[in-house]
Structures are given as C-alpha cells and as structure tokens.
Structure 1
Amino acid sequence: CCVFFLHLMSLLVIVFTFPFSICLCLKIVQEYERAIIFRLGRALPDAKGPGLFFIVPCTDQFVRVDLRTVSFDVPPQEILTKDSVTVAVDAVVYYRISNPMVSVINVENAARSTQLLAQTTLRNILGTKTLSEILTDRESISSMMQHVLDEGTDPWGVQVERVEIKDVRLPIQLQRAMAAEAEATREAKAKVSIIIIIITIIIIIIIIIVIIIVIVVINV
C-alpha cells in the first residue's frame, strides 16, 4: 500500500509539473546498451532498450549496462609450473554481458570480478602444466581457460568469448641455459654437416681414382 501511494504521488508530481518533468522522465539508451530499472529498490522484470524509455524520477533509478565485447589484460602472474620452474605469464580476455539483469543483481562489479577470476584461473591452470607444455601448447591452454572462466562467470551474466596467452617470461638463468643449449645444438649440427661434406668429397675422389685406374688398365 505504501509503495502504491509513493508511486501515485510521484505520478501526480509529474502531471502537475508537465512539461518540465518530461526531461527527467524520458531516457535514452544506445543500441548496444540496456537499462535496468529499480522502482523503490525492486528491479523491474525486463531490461529496457534500446531507444527511449520512461522512468518516474522520484521512485525509479536505472543502471546502464554495455553489451559490447570488452577486453582486458591479465597482469603478469608469477607461476610455479608442474616441473618447478617459475615463469611470468600474462594473457588477454574478451568477454561481454549476456544477461544485463543478472550482471547487475548477482554481482557488485561484473567487470572487476571477471578480471580477478581470470588471474586466479590463469595461475591455477598453468600450475598443472610443465614448462614445455606452456611453451608449445598455448592454444589448448587458452581454450581450457576460456571454458573454466565461462563457467565461473555464468552466474554473473557474463560470457567469456576468448582467452589468449600473450607472453611467457622465463627466468634470466633459464634463458641463458636454453640459449647455450641451442647454440651447442647448432654447433653440433654444423660439425655433422662438415663431416658429411668431407666424407662426400673423399668418396668422390676415390671414385675418380678408381675410374682412372680402370681406364689405365684397359689401355695397357
């Protein structure tokens, strides 16, 4: 009864102050936005928009929700891999609001919550992988992270569309060790190539000598 009375009084104020009140009553949201209206603290059943919609200034408040895809960077996370190597990994996440009503009612800040969940998910998933898997299998790791994030953010009305691993930073000592190993491998391959060339030349010389000997014997 009290709610009805307050709403009725608000409508009367609008009528008596018309046409000045129309500026406060009519609102516009863009094609990519939706408006969630709270009337005396209770959310109305459906999101409004796009376009023009009507509110009662004294009793209604509304929240704009952007439905476009948003991206954010996951800051570099220090991660201990399964084979006990510490690496710093960062990523980028693409998401959008799939349910405007739920994203406003079920979570205080959907964007911030998604970012924090992305950080913990990145650490948890990469902690189960070896360094070799992280370096060579980024696509499947990104797909796994996207699936886990999408499930975790679904109660918030958020849909995670894509996750990409951006960079894997190795410790300086490990980088030097890998560089030394790569250099040693290149040198070994170079030595093998030189040996093969020398053997090939020797074989060719032997064949030429044999041919010359055969020709000399035939002529004699």
Structure 2
Amino acid sequence: MVQELLIAVVAAVSAGAVYTAAAARVVKQYERGVVLRLGRLRNDVRGPGFTMVLPGVERLRKVNMQIVTMPVPAQDGITRDNVTVRVDAVIYFKVVDAASAVVEVEDYRFAVSQMAQTSLRSIIGKSDLDDLLSNREKLNQGLELMIDSPAVGWGVQIDRVEIKDVSLPETMKRSMARQAEADRERRARVINADAELQASKKLAEAASEMSAQPAALQLRLLQTVVAVAAEKNSTLVLPFPVELLRFLERAQQPAPPQAQPMDSAPQEPAPPAPAEPSAQTEPSASSASAPGHLRPAPRAPSAPSAPASGQSRPSGSKPLARH
C-alpha cells in the first residue's frame, strides 16, 4: 500500500515537472511576449521575466524590442537630370507595438526591407544628382517619411534612414573632376588678379615716393643686387633702369626743324660774283675821226667795283679818262 502510494506521488511529481517544463517561459529584458490562446490574441502582453503558458492551448511569441540596423541593398536608378546612379542606404527601426508586429504583418523585418528598397528607388527618381551628393539630409528625411507611413500600422517605428554611398559611372566622375578643377583654377585666377591689383596700388605709391628722391631708385637697385648676390649665384642679373632706356630713346630721335617766322621774307641766294674781265684795250679812235676829238689814254686794268644792289655793270664798259 505504501509502495503504491509512493509510486503515485512520484508519478504526480514527474507529471508536474513535465507540465512545468512545458509551460514555463522566460522573456528577456529586451523582449515582449505575445500570447495566442487557441489562435486568438490575448490582450495581456507578457513582460520580461518568468511566465507560464498552457501547453497545447497557448502559444507564446517573443518580439525583439531593440533597435534593428538593416542595410538596404544598392538600387540602380536614373535621377531627374538623367544620370544613372547606384545608391545604397541603411535603416534603423524598432518595434513599439509587439501585438501589431505579430498580428498585422507576417514578417515585419522583410516588409520594412522591401518598403525601404522601393522608397529608395522612388527618391532617386525624384532627386537631382547634386541633391544626392550634397543635400542628403533633406533626402534622408523624405525617405524616412516614405517608409514610416506604412510601418506605423505594423507597430514599427522608423528611427533614422541614411544614404550610405552614391556610385557614379566613370565618365561622370571624370566630368565632375574636370568641373571641380576648372572651378578651382577660376578661383585661383581671381585671387591672383586681386593680389596683382593690390600689389600694383602699393607699387604705384612706392613709385610716387621714389620719384621725389632720385637717389631712392639707385638705392633700391643696389638692394636688389645685394639680395641676388646673397644666393651665391655665378650669374648676376642686373636690372636696367627704364628711365635710362627712355633717355637713350629720346637721344636717338632727330631734332625737329625750326620754324621760320611768318613776317620775314625768304632770303634769296646771293648772285655769283662776276668773272674777272680779261685785259682789253680801249678801241682806238678811227683814223677818220676829227682832229678835235680826244684820244683816250691807256689805263691799267683795275678790279671792278662791287655792283650796286640789284644792278650789274656790263663787263665790257670802262670809264674814259680825259686829258
């Protein structure tokens, strides 16, 4: 009798242990337990710790409440400005309603992944290439709103969506590199021109100061020579003053002709001096002359007197002498 009682007690304890092992459940701190009794959802969601379910009647499903980091596969698309790109992203979400995550959607992880891919492809087609490269914050917010709208009914909250990388074709990369290089060169030229303008103003002020003292230019020349000679060069380049070049240029130019006064008449060239007349004798009186006529006396030839202004004596005429 005692033996049978002992066997019954052992059997009851064993059955209780088996039932307890089958009904016992442990819910972790970051999990919540959703109980389905005969296929119907129980309103009470089991918190973390030890809990019991009816074996064969109730079924406990654990839902992770941690933030899930899910990479979104890279999507190929064409932007609004007709550029082919490949964009991948990452999404952060968590379950805020365990019952809805179990009842409203079959697999909330897969649903969120597919919704993220579709939204990413849609946001690529609505954006320009410059927005994808430089204005990602706005695109991230728009992508988050697109994914969060249907996920709210699934008991899932989207915390953050980030676009990780934008892959461009090689031709587009080279074009963008040339554009950036041209822009940097433009800025460098503008800065250089601004520096030249400021330097020219300072040089003009220095030139005006040096023009007051001519010795300052020579001192500046000597200072330049000293600075060049300090480098221990075998060749010394000596700058040539521009003022000296201008002086030599003016010296080589012919002097301009002097203008004659308007009131004075142009001088005529003096007439050539008359040639010395050859020694000629006065013709003798004719043999048929009258006896009362005077015979001219012979006279030595003398130098002809200077002719009066504007008049000349005939070369053959001589004065006659009277007895």
TM range (shorter): 0.7 to 0.9
Distance 1:83 1:51 in 2: 56
Secondary structure in 2 aligned to 1:17? helix
Residue number in structure 2 paired with 1:203: 201
- AA in 2 matched with 1:147: L
- Correspondence 1:27 to 2:43: no
1:174 aligns with 2:179: no
Residue of structure 1 aligned with 2:187, choices 186, 189, 199:
189
Looking at structure 1, the residues matched to 169 and 183 of structure 2 have their Cα atoms a distance apart, in angstroms, of 21
Q: Deviation at 1:183?
A: 1.1
Larger fraction in helix: 1
CA distance in 1, matches of 2:194, 2:149: 57
1:16 Cα offset (Å): 8.5
**Whole-Å separation in 1 of the counterparts to 2:140 and 2:197:** 49
Relative contact order, higher structure (CA 8 A, sep 6+): 1
- Within the candidate set 78, 81, 88, 2:79 is matched to 81
TM-score by length of structure 2 reads 0.59
Question: What amino acid is aligned across from residue 89 of structure 1 in structure 2?
Answer: V
Q: List runs of 5+ in structure 1 lacking aligned partners.
A: 1-13
**TM-score, structure 1 as length reference:** 0.85
Quote the Cα distance in structure 2 between the aligned partners of 1:100 and 1:132. Answer: 40
Rg comparison, structure with higher value:
2
- CA-to-aligned-CA distance 1:127-163 (integer Å, 9 cap, x gap): 1111112222211211121122111111111111111
SS of corresponding position for 1:93: strand
- Of residues 118, 121, 144 in structure 2, which corresponds to 1:120? 118
1:93 shift after superposition: 0.7
- Map Cα deviations across residues 52-91 of structure 1 (whole Å, 9 max, x no partner): 2111112222211001111111111112111111111111
Equivalent-residue separation in structure 2 for 1:50 and 1:161 (angstroms):
23
RMSD value, Cα = 2.0
Name the % identity: 33
* Structure number with higher strand proportion: 1
Partner of 1:154: 152
Q: Distance in 1 between matches of 2:30 and 2:202?
A: 75
Q: Which residue of 1 aligns with 2:58?
A: 60
- The answer on 1:110 being equivalent to 2:108 is yes
